[in-house]
Structures are given as C-alpha cells and as structure tokens.
Chains A and B, each alone.
Chain A
Amino acid sequence: MMKRDECFRILARHIGDAAVVATYSSAVDWVTVAPRVLNYTSIGAMGLDSSHGLGLALGRPDKRVVVLQGDGSLLMNLGSLVTIGEVAPKNLVHLVAHNETYEANGGHPIPNPKVDFAGLARAAGYAAVYDFADLGVFAQQVAHLLEQEGPVFATLRVEPSRPLTYDYESLYDPAKRKAFKTAWRA
C-alpha cells in the first residue's frame, strides 16, 4: 500500500507541461506537492474530473492531460470509462487513488471497497492499464506511463491519508481558472 502524496511527489518530477485535473483529497495533495498554473481543480460536480479531462484532451491533442481522481469520484461517473475507452484520446492519463473511502466526506467506505478499477478500465477499452500498490514500482514506471499512447489508466492503491485541510476557496478560485485557460491555450 502506498501513500497518495508520495505517489504525487514522484509524479510531479515527470509532469512537464501537462494539464492536471484533480479534485477533493487528490487536489489537496497535488497542489501542495506541485502548485502550478496548469492545475485544473474547479470540477463543479463530484465525479466529473474524468469528463473534464476528456474535454481538455480532445481540445488540445498536442498536449498531455493527467486526471487525478479519487475512487469515490470515479464511482459517480463510471460511465466515463466507457466514453473515454470509445473516444480513445491518445494524450489522456487517468490515475485513480484507490483508498477505499470517501475521504473528503467523513472517511466512510465506498461501496465494494475491493472493486477492480483497473479491470473495469481494461474492459472499457483503455489502451494501457496498470495497478500499482508498490511505490518503487510506480516510481520505476511513471515516466513510461506518462509518455505512452493513451488512454492510459492506473489504479494507485493508497492508504487513507492524514486529516486534510480542504481550502475550497483556493481550489475553486476564479483567478486560477482564468490563468489556467490562458496557459492552456498558449
């Protein structure tokens, strides 16, 4: 079992100029590790992270898009796996932090905590699918994962984290949305 913030520290070393779509606990950890203008954290409705990511990937096929989604979020939008599998954007990397809980909403368990997200993504038609539970293996493969032809999916099996502070004013700051748009269109 890994820690989400440790995974993200490793990911941040390789992220380059990719857009990173993240929400809730994943967003809190990501913006702490990698505060950058190309972070997209205004999702508006739980579960739609993967759909925003698909739109960004279609809109800028010349750039990379990385979605950092929680397991509870993906469960709210499981159909997006099928949509992404069908559309098959080559520049989309979809990482799901599987900590088996709705961490931002009190730490309650998700339905069927042992659900096989990687298996679902494979069945939905993702081009490449991974399932990481070991930080060393993730560190070894993350660069390849970010570079290969997508859509790429990976489950990150992580522990529930320490209590987080959710600064939604900052995550949903309109000025950050505006800055993202300018940078993304450049």
Chain B
Amino acid sequence: MATRYIPTIGLEVHVQLKTRSKMFCGCPVEYGAEPNSHTCPVCLGYPGALPVMNETALRMTALTGLMLNCKIAEVCKFDRKNYFYPDMPKNYQISQYDRPICEEGGVPLHDLAYPKDAQKAIQHPGKIVKLVRIHLEEDVAKSTHFETSTGIDFNRAGTPLMEIVSEPDIDSPEEAFAYLSALQQILVYGGVSDADMEKGQMRCDCNVSVRPEGTTELGTKIEIKNMNTISGVRRALAFEIERQIEVLSKGGSLAQETRRWDDGLGQTSLMRIKESAHDYRYFPEPDLLPVDTRVFMEEVRKQRPELPAEKRERFVQSYGITDYDAAVLAADRALADYFELAARGTSKPKALANWILNDLLSALSDAGETIRECRVTAAQLAALLSIIDSGTINAGQGKAVFADMLRTGKDATVIVEEKGLKQESDLGAIEALCQKSIDANPKAVEEYRGGKTASINFLKGQVMKLSQGKANPAIVGEILARLLG
C-alpha cells in the first residue's frame, strides 16, 4: 500500500502597521506617492543619521500581542541584521533578534475562517495555531525589476513592519487559509493594519514539508514566496504538498530550497537552493536604547478591542441570534457595528440579523459595495423593521421599500408615503373586499365550510390581490374567519 504523507506548515506573516510616520524617522507612510518623495537621511541610510523609535508602532505591536494572547516582554530591544541588498542601503536591517516584543500566543481558527468549500469538514474544530513570536522591524525599499536594471523606491524603506511567526503547527492548506483570514480579522479589529494581501499590507512566506505517516522527524523544509492572496496561499500549498509527495514516493529526495508561486500557472518553481545557513551576524543596535514596555502597557490594555470570538458569543447571549448569524456578523467589525447600532432601534434583533445577512449583504455584494459604503444607515434599517412590525406595511412591501432605500438613501416612511404603500387597516374597507372575494369564490367557501380550513388561504390571497397588497393580512384572516364562521 502507498505511504501516506503528512504535511507540516509554518507561516511567517509580515504586516504593515497603520502608523502615520515611519519606524525610525518622521517620513510619511503613504502608499502610491511619487517614488522617493518620502525619504530623509535616516531611511536612505546616510552615514551618521540616527534612528528614533516610533512609539505608536511599538504600542500597536504590543496590542497585537495582547489580542493573540502572547507574553509581552517587559524589556525588549532592537538588533542589526546584516546583509547586502540594494533595497537596504545601510547594509543592515533594524530588527529584533533574541528579545522580541511578543512571544508565544496563538491564532484561534473559527469555522467561518476556513474556505467555504471546506467548512463542512473541518479537521480540528476550535484549533488554536501556536505562535513562536511577534517582532517589529523596518520594511525595505520597493524594487521594480526591468529588463536590464532594477529601480528602487525608498518610500517604503523604514516603514514599520510586524513579523508574526507561527509554529509549524498547521496541517493543511485549508488550515493555512483559516489562519490567515482569522489573523487578518483580528488585525483589522485592533486597527493595527488594514492587512490587505493584494496591497502588500500583509505578506506571507510559507514553510512546508511532508513526512511519511507514523514518523516524527520533519521532512525537508521548502519555503514558498510571492503569494498575494489568501486563496493563493492555499493553492500554492496544495500544489507544493502534492509535488513533494510525488518526488518522495518515486524514491527521489528534496533539497532545502526557496520556491516561487505563480498563481497564473498554478505552480511553484525554483528560486534558489539554500546552500548554507545565512550568517546575518546579528548584534544589538547601538543606536537604539532598549524598550521597557511597562510604561505603556496599561494604556495598551485599555485599547484591546472585543475580539471576533468574544463578540460572537455576546451577540448570541444578548440578542438571542443564532451562533451562525453571530459568527457572520462578528467576522466583519464594520458589519457587527452596523448590526449593533440598528439593534438599538428594534425589538426584534433576530429579524434584524436576517435582514442584514440576507437582504443587505446580497444587495451590497450585487453592487460591489462594502457596508461602509451602504446608503441605508443602521437607524434607517431599524426604522424600516419597526414599520413592518407595526403592520404599516407587510413584509413583501418591506423588501420593495428596502430596495428603494438602498438606491436613494431615503427613509422608509418617506418611500411608503410617496408610493402610497400604507397598509389598509380600515376594517370597513377590508370587510367589503372580503365579502367580494367570498361572493366570487363559492367553491372555496363550500370547501372551507366542509372542513377544509386551508381554503381560507386561497380567499385571503384573493383579498390581498384585490387590495393590491395593501391589506393587513392578519386583519384579513380575522374578518374572513368571522364572515365564513
């Protein structure tokens, strides 16, 4: 029988922090500015220029550590990582080596973080992927490769970059996907990064190996670079695991190497073989003093937001909505805030959740908009629900009114007024219509009186038609029952 292979995956995620200025100088952090216009002697690596730490970047990293349940070091420091590359003119990168800000901790994987097609068969529900550490460093310049030369833009050089290193604790491409989406969610919740992979705000290197089932020693580790979507990471890992298994089961062997993912071709290809371990000659950065985090941790603790998992639980508890609905709402902080704001104006949070998750989300997705761009405010949606609830309009009319609200941004009551949709609750008028429908449908009346009570629904439908949908269906039911009684 063929050997089964077990994959082992570890991820290194680089995250751009949402600071206004760079890590060690006051140059603005701005994406898409004219190349080299946000530069100074510090981030261009001029001799003698001295770095000074951006306190906000340190706090954001500590906050990330708190959100991911890490141990926050009381004292941490920066080191120089020495190597030569044109994107880093000092010939060293300021990073953290042996005393990072955060250690240990983990990223909890919730069901909705998995790819949709994998949510039905989650291998380890409730898994928390362990972290090794989180440290802070400076980003390097952006290189653009041309035919015969390379162009360098230092606007990105020296911007704060947080590196989150996982243990080799991930068992499948689907879990890697879940890890990245859960992590992204938390980073956005904490306001530390927008964490958009396509914009390079979150970048990921994957280490992956396979080993025969039943053995404990990890196989040869291969690193994959150049992935710019979370689904790309999943595809790259799936391809690479297959490739490694194929090589090994044919009796071949793997070399430690770095491979590049090509999403268009759907395959990884060799970038370079690791000939020897890098010798970065780390040493303490003499231009920077150590950081004692205790001076700001009390304030950072106060900044810690309610996290998706906590919010989900609270929504179930305080609003009585289903766990699934709560999870979908909590997955997006803006959506969760919208729900909560609207819930203040309604007594029916369950109905509200349905409206948001079905009508609102599908309308937004059709329009290619996000909740932030939605023309209907939370208060307006709550007001719509309350006029449906009071019987002023029925549910079907409510959907039509909602469609108008999305288009125009007008209040529900205004649209109801304009369209003359107000439900007919005038008993005399409804009774006349009921009588009309009874007179016109003797067969249904006979059936009803003969014991087939469901026939009343047919009559009710006729009344609704006669009223052009304006009659209050509950009142119609009552009157019909009385007239037929």
Do chains A and B interact in one complex?
Answer: no
Which A residues contact B (CB, under 8 angstroms)? none
Which B residues contact A (CB, under 8 angstroms)? none
